[in-house]
C-alpha cells in the first residue's frame, strides 16, 4: 500500500501538520474529538491506491498543528478558513471533503458555505442539522435541565482539561475502548448529576477492541500528551459564537453529492436524528448504517468505510 508521508503547511496564519498519501484528485479528511489525522490511517493508503491525493490534517489545536491560545481562535469560521487556505496551499481549486465527528460538522459546513471549493461531501457519525432555533447552549439547558450533559460540562475553560489531562492513557483508553462520557444512551452517563465529570463512573477496559492496538493507543496518547485537550475543547466553547456568526446555516442547502456513514451503535444516533438532515442535503445519495459499529466507525470498520468511500468517489462527475 502507498506510504503515508508527513509535512507542515501554512494556511490562514497558522501551520497545519498533514498526513498524506497518493496523487490525483484531492480528498480532504477532517478528524473529530479528541483525535488527529492518525484516525484516518486506514483511509489514506486505500484512497491513494485508488488514484486520489488523500490529505488528513491535524485540526488546529491537535497533534503537531499550531495551537492558538484564544478560545475564539477555534470558531467554525476560523476552522473553515484553515481548509480553504489549505486547498490554496496545495494548489487545488476543489476537493471532496470527508469528516468524522466534529470533522463531519466542519465538512458539512465547508460544503454549505464554500460550494465552489468542495465538489462533494461525506459526513460520518454527525449529520448536518443546519442551525438550531436558539444558541446551542441555551437549547441544551432547555433539553437537559438539571441533568448532566457533557457539552455543558465542557464550557468552563480549564475544568475538563484538568480532568482529562490528569491521566491521559486512562482517559483515552476509556474514550476509545470503553463507554465515553458523551454516550447519552449509557445508564452510567444518564444517571449523572451536577458536579459529576466526564469520566465519573467509567472504567478503562483492560482489553482493547480488535480495531485498536496498544501501539495505536500509545500513539494517540503521545499526541495528546503533547497537545493537551484545550484546543479540542475550545471547539465546544464556540458553539454559541458559531450560531451568531453563521446565521446563513439556517437556510442554505448543501447541493453537492453527499454520503452519510454511521455505526449502528453510535450514540450520536440518539442525539442527532438523520432524517432531519435530508431536506438540507437534497443530493444525499445514501445513509449507510454499518451493523455493529460504534462511534469510531472509520477505524472500527475500515474496509467497509473504504469501500463506501471509493464507490461514492467513483460515481462523482469528472
Give the model confidence (pLDDT) of 117-160 as tens digits: 999 999 999 999 999 999 999 999 999 988 999 999 999 999 99
Question: Which residue range is the domain that position 306 belongs to?
Answer: 5-314
Q: 165-224, pLDDT tens digit by residue?
A: 999 999 999 999 999 899 988 999 999 988 899 999 999 999 999 999 999 999 999 999
Residue 122's closest CA among 302, 267, 306? 306
The count of structural domains within the chain is 1
Cell numbers for 301, please give them: 470498520
Residue with cell 460504534: 294
Band the pLDDT of 96: cuts 50, 70, 90: very high
Residue 56's closest CA among 93, 107, 94, 12? 107
- Which CATH number fits the domain that encloses residue 36? 3.40.50.1820
CA gap 6, 24 in Å, rounded: 17
Mean pLDDT of all residues in 107-115: 98
What pLDDT is stored for residue 136 in this prediction?
97
Given 17, 31, 128, 295, the catalytic residue: 295
What pLDDT is stored for residue 318 in this prediction?
75
What pLDDT is stored for residue 271 in this prediction?
84
**Range in 45-49, 94-98, 250-254, 272-276 with the lowest mean pLDDT:** 272-276
In the chain, pLDDT over 70 holds for what percent of residues?
100
Q: Which pTM value belongs to this model?
A: 0.97
Residue 174 in contact with residue 202, Cβ under 8 Å? yes
Cell numbers for 216, please give them: 495505536
Q: Is 101 a catalytic residue?
A: yes
What pLDDT is stored for residue 184 in this prediction?
87
CA gap 199, 182 in Å, rounded: 10
CA gap 75, 241 in Å, rounded: 7
Given 82, 101, 183, 266, the catalytic residue: 101
Q: 59-80, pLDDT tens digit by residue?
A: 999 999 999 999 999 999 999 9
Residue 73: CB atoms within 10 A of its CB come to 18
Residue 300: CB atoms within 10 A of its CB come to 21
> Taking all residues of the chain, what is their mean pLDDT, rounded to a whole number?
96
Q: 23-63, pLDDT tens digit by residue?
A: 999 999 999 999 999 999 999 999 999 999 999 999 999 99
Give the Å distances, CA to CA, from 193 to 41, 67, 148, 157. 37, 32, 5, 20
Q: Is 6 a catalytic residue?
A: no
What pLDDT is stored for residue 276 in this prediction?
87
Q: Residues for the chain: how many in total?
A: 318
Amino acid at each position: 500500500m502507498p506510504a503515508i508521508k508527513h509535512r507542515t503547511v501554512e494556511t490562514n496564519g497558522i501551520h497545519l501538520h498533514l498526513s498524506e498519501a497518493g496523487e490525483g484528485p484531492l480528498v480532504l479528511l477532517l478528524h473529530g474529538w479528541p483525535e488527529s489525522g492518525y484516525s484516518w490511517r486506514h483511509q489514506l493508503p486505500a484512497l491513494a491506491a485508488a488514484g486520489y491525493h488523500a490529505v488528513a490534517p491535524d485540526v488546529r489545536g491537535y497533534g503537531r498543528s499550531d495551537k492558538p491560545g484564544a478560545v475564539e481562535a477555534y470558531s467554525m469560521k476560523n476552522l473553515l478558513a484553515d481548509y480553504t487556505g489549505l486547498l490554496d496551499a496545495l494548489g487545488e481549486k476543489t476537493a471532496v471533503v470527508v469528516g468524522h465527528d466534529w470533522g463531519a460538522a466542519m465538512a458539512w459546513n465547508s460544503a454549505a458555505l464554500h460550494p465552489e471549493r468542495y465538489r462533494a461531501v461525506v459526513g460520518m457519525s454527525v449529520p448536518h442539522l443546519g442551525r438550531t432555533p436558539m444558541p446551542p447552549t441555551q437549547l441544551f439547558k432547555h433539553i437537559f435541565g438539571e441533568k448532566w450533559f457533557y457539552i455543558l460540562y465542557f464550557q468552563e475553560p480549564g475544568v475538563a482539561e484538568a480532568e482529562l489531562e490528569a491521566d491521559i492513557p486512562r482517559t483515552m483508553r476509556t474514550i476509545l475502548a470503553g463507554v465515553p462520557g458523551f454516550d447519552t444512551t449509557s445508564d452510567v452517563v444518564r444517571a449523572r448529576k451536577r458536579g459529576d465529570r466526564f469520566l465519573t463512573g467509567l472504567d478503562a477496559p483492560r482489553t482493547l477492541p480488535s480495531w485498536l492496538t496498544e501501539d495505536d493507543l500509545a500513539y494517540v496518547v503521545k499526541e495528546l500528551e503533547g497537545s493537551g485537550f484545550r484546543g479540542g475543547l475550545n471547539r465546544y466553547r464556540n458553539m454559541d459564537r458559531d450560531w451568531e456568526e453563521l446565521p446563513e446555516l439556517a437556510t442554505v442547502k448543501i447541493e453537492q453529492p453527499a454520503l452519510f456513514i454511521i455505526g449502528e451503535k453510535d450514540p450520536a444516533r440518539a442525539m442527532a436524528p438523520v432524517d432531519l438532515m435530508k431536506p438540507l442535503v437534497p443530493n444525499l445519495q445514501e445513509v449507510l448504517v454499518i451493523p455493529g459499529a460504534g462511534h469510531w466507525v472509520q477505524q472500527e470498520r475500515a474496509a467497509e468505510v473504504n469501500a463506501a468511500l471509493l464507490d461514492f468517489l467513483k460515481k462523482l462527475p469528472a
